[in-house]
Chain A
Amino acid sequence: MSDAPIQVALIGNPNTGKTSLFNHLTGLNQKVGNYPGITVDKKTGTCKLSPTQKATILDLPGTYSLNASSVDEKIAIDILNDTDNELHPDVAIVVADVEQLKRNLLIFTQVKDLEIPTILVINMADRMQLKGISVDIEQLEADLQTKVVIISSKQKTGIDDVKKAILAYKSLSTERCISKEKIKQNTITDTSLLTSLSASELKKVQHRETIVRYQFINDVLKKSYVVDRSKASDTQAKLDRIFTHKIFGYVIFGLLLLLIFQVIFEWSSVPMELIDGAFGSFAEWTKEVLPKGMLTNLLADGIIAGLGGIVIFIPQIAFLFLFISILEESGYMSRVVFLMDKIMRRFGLSGKSIVPLISGAACAIPAIMATRNIESWKERLITILVTPFITCSARLPVYAILISLIIPNERVFWFFNWQGITLMLLYLIGFAIALISAFILHKTLKIQSKSYFVVELPKYKVPLVKNVAYTVLEKTKTFVFEAGKIILAISIILWVLGSVGVNDKFHNAETIVQQAIEKNGFTEIQEIALENKIIRYTESVREEAEAAGKTVNVQEMDAEVAEKIPEFREAVIEDEIEGMRLENSILGVIGKTIEPVIQPLGYDWKIGIALVSSFAAREVFIGTLATIYSVGSEGDDEAGNTIKAKMQAEVHASSGKKVFNFASGISLLLFYAFAMQCMSTLAIVKRETKGWKWPMVQLFSMTIIAYVAALIAYQFLK
């Protein structure tokens, strides 16, 4: 029989190595969830302390105090204060950085005064000698009346001592650091003050409390903490002289961004091709193994193709999160915040907006959650509103396929090609429209809010591989599962809608088409479709021959084509039948209904359906087209069955012209660049802004911008 797990809460300032300790204690046994009703990540994990005793470890968000001035602090207070809370710890661990012990002890005294057994873990022991710091542990333990453990999260020393200290938590004193008499009013034990006092009175109370606490801490550290300043090296200061330099700082940041994006695309291309190939063969295999039919098509072309469209972006998302987490872990990101503040303020943003704007290139959801530490509500709101304009990874699959369809893959200079330049332009357009909208919002929003800005610039350090790896793993996993769920659901809904008929034309499509052709022969459009099939066939034969290094005999080819013509005719008729079925299904009726609205943008009703379903999530676009086209045409083209080939082959039923041409392609690219098509983002914005007002403003204004931009582009280019 093992005992009930000991509940442990990890608390501490940001950048103290709290998360490193959490990772060391729990390894991969961690879970990320949400606190009820709020979106702050709740990280818990289990740790084996002894053969019979486990501990449940809760990693509370990094905070400087328990003063309840932020959501993160409120969570910590709720859990620590309320003994009935299921997360209430048996023992708290405050993690402190040895170089900033004074500041880190502030929150320690606050936790200890809640009369919870509190262990003090001092991290970064590996730097003590370098910095000429010595700590008298026994003295410190006596003064703080608790167990003090020295660890180095970098060298993994002291972790076992932490486990031992947790095991022995019952022997810890719960005596307060500072008696109740010294701090008559404080907001931590007496949370009613938070609502009863005015903001200004509250601040005075908390200010007084902080002063008393610092007096206590100064007295304690005088006895046990010595710094020999002659030993302190100035590497840190030297780094800051370069990285935060008035001019070089910006140059370095610019080059770094350029390098990161270059590298992401470079490194991702190989794994992406592998994934693409693997999903393609998997879909083919499914079709071969399973009996032919609608359900198999749904599985192969709808679900597998749709999931493939997500999985293919894992490399890019993972690399992006890798770089972002390295920038944050190393301490460089906060230097960028410092450098960019003044520039961003011109657009109504804060220096801190730069972190969400960069993360937005991966996904708007974590980006919007990263706006929490922007103090001014107005600056934060504007950041939330404009972040979805940044080209996120969900737009990439849409961009990638459209660009490959409409932009020639030709080199311009020795280095660039048109497709790459188009993609870069789309990124720049997204960033530009984000800044422009921010500026407009800044000038129009009438929100009074004090524009505070306090940023800690932590010491530079080499990022820990474990921390970076866990962040990348967790964020990528969340993205794939969230997007995967939506794609799965939408594929099935679309398939069902496309398989249910509304009238006679759906049920008797075969007879109607057969009769019409027997009577009148092929229509002009059908002749064009036949012609296209022949052209594609000859092209593919020629390409194959060229790849094999042979020349094509023209006469042989003609004979071969002549032989194939009946087969092609059959395929055209088959397409016609399936087309009629789709048009007269529920899905077709929906598409036809919205067609007048999207026709001026150059889209047909099939794109219309993809567009509407994309409002759930952008990346659904390709899966939707795959589902629609597979429902629509049963016949296997010789030119290949990939979604790209199908899009290439798609023609307007009325004119026989290509659906995906340069004008409609550019129009679609712009629509996807600007439109707010992501339910998850809207849900996050709703939670972060506490209401439907702002997500609705975002949905309508972004979509109107998208519509107008797409309209102008198509009308000019067609």
Chain B
Amino acid sequence: MSTIADLKKGEKAIILDFPVDSIPLKLIEMGCLPGNEISLVQTTLFNGPLFLTINESNIAIRKDTAAKIQIEKVL
């Protein structure tokens, strides 16, 4: 199963599932919910945070959080 951390710059995906406990509530409030589309806009050096678009919002999260959110890539 792939996660947001596996995405490459410019790729899109649909959120499938994530463990509620290990995801910040703020991310859920911002629309990071199963069924929503996300895309990876920008990455940083040395595995730094990821710059995503979810629900028309630009959000940055760290890679360890991203690795917990399961997705299905959209081609």
How many residues of A are in contact with the other chain, CB < 8 A? 41
Say whether, besides A204-B20, A452-B24, A339 and B57 are in contact (CB < 8 Å). Answer: no
In the assembled complex, the CB of A231 is this many whole angstroms from the nearest CB of chain B, namely: 14
Check A100/B45 contact, CB under 8 A, given A203-B20, A204-B20.
no
Interface membership of A701, Cβ < 8 A: no
Looking at chain B's contact residues, the main secondary structure is mixed
**Given A100-B57, A103-B31, A244-B42: A375 in contact with B49 (beta carbons within 8 A):** no
Q: How large is the interface on B (under 10, 10 to 19, 20 to 34, 35 or more residues)?
A: 20 to 34
**Chain B 44-65 per-residue mask, 1 if CB under 8 angstroms from chain A, else 0:** 1111110100011111111001
Is the CB–CB distance between B33 and A100 below 8 Å? no
Task: Write the nearest CB–CB distance from B68 to chain A, whole angstroms.
Answer: 11
What are the interface flags for B1-43 relative to A under an 8 Å C-beta threshold, 1 for contact and 0 otherwise?
0000000000000000000110011111111010000000111
- Cβ–Cβ contact B30 & A244, under 8 A: no
Check B44 against A456 for contact (C-beta < 8 Å). no
Contacting residues, chain A, for B27 (C-beta < 8 A): 454
Q: Which residue of A lies closest to B49 (CB)?
A: A341
Tell me which residues from 93 to 123 in chain A have a Cβ below 8 Å from any Cβ of chain B: 99-100, 102-103, 106
Q: Confirm or deny: A437 has a beta carbon within 8 angstroms of a beta carbon on chain B.
A: no
A351 and B49 form a contact (CB under 8 A): yes
Chain A residues contacting B20 (CB-CB under 8 Å) are: 203-204, 207
Closest to A346 in B: B46
Q: Does A214 contact B (CB under 8 A)?
A: yes
A203 vs B46: C-alpha distance when bound (angstroms): 32
B45 to A, closest residue via Cβ: A246
Tell me which of B45, B59, B60 has the highest count of chain A C-beta atoms within 10 A of its own C-beta: B60
B49 partner residues in chain A, CB cutoff 8 A:
338, 341-342, 351, 453, 455
Residues of A close to B56: CB separation below 8 A: 99-100, 102-103
CA distance A245 to B43 in the complex (A): 8
| Contact between B65 and A456, CB atoms less than 8 A apart | no
Q: Which residues of B contact A451 (CB under 8 A)?
A: 62
The reply to whether B51 and A375 contact each other, CB–CB distance below 8 Å, is: no
Instruction: Specify the chain A residue showing the minimal Cβ separation from B31.
Output: A103
For B63, give the chain A residue with the smallest CB separation.
Answer: A342
**CB pair B26 A338 closer than 8 Å:** no
Are B61 and A211 closer than 8 Å at their CB atoms? Answer: no
| CB-based nearest A residue for B58 | A457
A452: contacting residue among B31, B55, B65, CB under 8 A: B65
Which residues A210-257 have CB closer than 8 A to chain B?
Answer: 210-211, 214, 237, 240-241, 244-246
Q: Which residues of A contact B60 (CB under 8 A)?
A: 334, 337-338, 341, 351, 453-455, 457
Is A67 an interface position by the 8 A CB rule?
yes
Give A259 Cβ to nearest chain B Cβ, in Å: 23
Interface presence of A69 (CB below 8 A): yes
**A-B pair number, CB within 8 angstroms:** 110
Q: Can you list, as one digit per residue, whether each of A177-219 has a CB less than 8 Å from chain B (1) or not (0)?
A: 0000000000000000000000010011011001100100000
| Cα separation A65 to B48 with both chains bound (whole Å) | 27
Residues of B within 8 A of A207 (CB): 20, 25, 28
Known contacts: A457-B51, A457-B58. The answer to whether A341 contacts B44 by CB under 8 A is yes
Q: Across the interface, which residues of A come within 8 angstroms of B46, CB to CB? A: 342
| From A200, A214, A245, A456, contact of B57 by CB (8 A) | A456
Q: A100-B55, A103-B55, A246-B44 are in contact. Are A375 and B24 (CB under 8 A)?
A: yes
The answer to whether residues A200 and B21 also contact, given A341-B44, A342-B44 and a CB cut-off of 8 A, is yes
Q: In the complex, how many angstroms separate the beta carbon of B29 from the nearest chain A beta carbon?
A: 5
Q: Which residue of B lies closest to A243 (CB)?
A: B42
Given contact pairs A204-B20, A452-B24, A106 touches B29 in the complex (Cβ within 8 A): yes
Contact indicator B28/A103 (Cβ below 8 Å)? no
Min CB gap B20→A, angstroms: 5
Q: Is A463's beta carbon under 8 Å from chain B?
A: no
The answer to whether B44 and A64 touch across the interface, beta carbons within 8 angstroms, is no
Contact check, A456 vs B30: say whether CB atoms are below 8 A apart. Answer: yes
Q: Bound state CA distance, A342 and B63, in angstroms?
A: 10
Task: Tell me whether A67 and B62 are in contact (CB under 8 A).
Answer: no
Contact B31 A214 (CB under 8 A): yes
Minimum distance in angstroms from A479 CB to a CB of chain B: 31
Cβ B65 vs Cβ A453 within 8 A: yes
Q: Is the CB of B44 within 8 A of A339?
A: yes
On whether the beta carbons of A103 and B25 are closer than 8 Å, the reply is no
Measured in the bound complex, the distance between the Cα atoms of B45 and A343 in whole Å is 9
A420 within 8 A of B: no
Q: Are B30 and A102 in contact (CB under 8 A)?
A: no
Residues from 447 to 467 in A contacting B, C-beta threshold 8 Å: 451-459
CB proximity of A88 to chain B, nearest CB, Å: 24
Q: A334 CB to closest chain B CB, in angstroms?
A: 8
Which B residues are CB-close (under 8 A) to A459? 58
Instruction: Kindly state the separation between the CA atoms of A342 and B29 in the bound complex, as whole angstroms.
Output: 24
- In the bound assembly, the distance between CA atoms of A377 and B60 in angstroms comes to 19
Chain B residues with Cβ below 8 Å from A337 are 60
B44–A69 touching, CB < 8 Å = no
Contact B57 A103 (CB under 8 A): yes
Which residues on A sit within 8 Å (CB–CB) of B61? 453-455
Residues of B contacting A65 with CB < 8 Å? 25, 29
- 19 CB contacts below 8 A, A to B, read A64-B30, A102-B55, A103-B30, A204-B20, A206-B25, A240-B42, A240-B58, A245-B42, A246-B43, A334-B60, A341-B62, A342-B46, A342-B49, A351-B60, A452-B26, A453-B62, A453-B65, A454-B26, A456-B58
Known pairs A103-B30, A240-B58, A244-B44 / 8 extra A-B pairs, C-beta < 8 Å:
A103-B56, A337-B60, A339-B48, A341-B62, A351-B60, A451-B62, A452-B24, A456-B57
Chain B residues close to A by CB (< 8 Å): 20-21, 24-31, 33, 41-49, 51, 55-62, 65
- The 6 tightest CB contacts between A and B, nearest first, are A342-B48, A457-B58, A452-B24, A338-B60, A455-B60, A64-B29
